[in-house]
Amino acid sequence: MVPDGRPDRRRTWHSHGMAHLRLFGPARDAAGVAAAEVPGTTVAEVAAQARSRFGEEFAQVLAGSGLWLNGEPATDDAPVSEVDEVAVVPPVSGGC
């Protein structure tokens, strides 16, 4: 339940012990999927599992991408649970 007493709907799309991994742009292309359930208790563990699952091309993309946890930039040691979303966000380029 969330603090106001409503059910926490985030739990309905997560498997027990697995973080929801969202992939964008080149990371999505390298992995061949837009999302996956990945085990891990920290952002670093989720990233390591994803590298192992999706291979070298994905690992290279991941090395140049940002990792976000629930919509915020994440550190490698940030804890992750089954209600969390880890996103691989490619670098943004652009200008005026």
pLDDT range class, residue 93, cuts 50, 70, 90? low
Burial of 39 (0-12, 13-18, 19+ CB in 10 A): middle
At residue 40, does pLDDT exceed 50? yes
What pLDDT was estimated at residue 91? Answer: 83
pLDDT of residue 23: 97
Region label for 32, one of left (φ > 0), alpha (ψ between -120 and 50) or beta (otherwise): left
* pLDDT per residue as tens digits for the range 66-86: 999 999 999 999 999 999 999
What is the reported pTM?
Answer: 0.78
Q: Which domains does the chain have, with CATH numbers?
A: 15-89 (3.10.20.30)
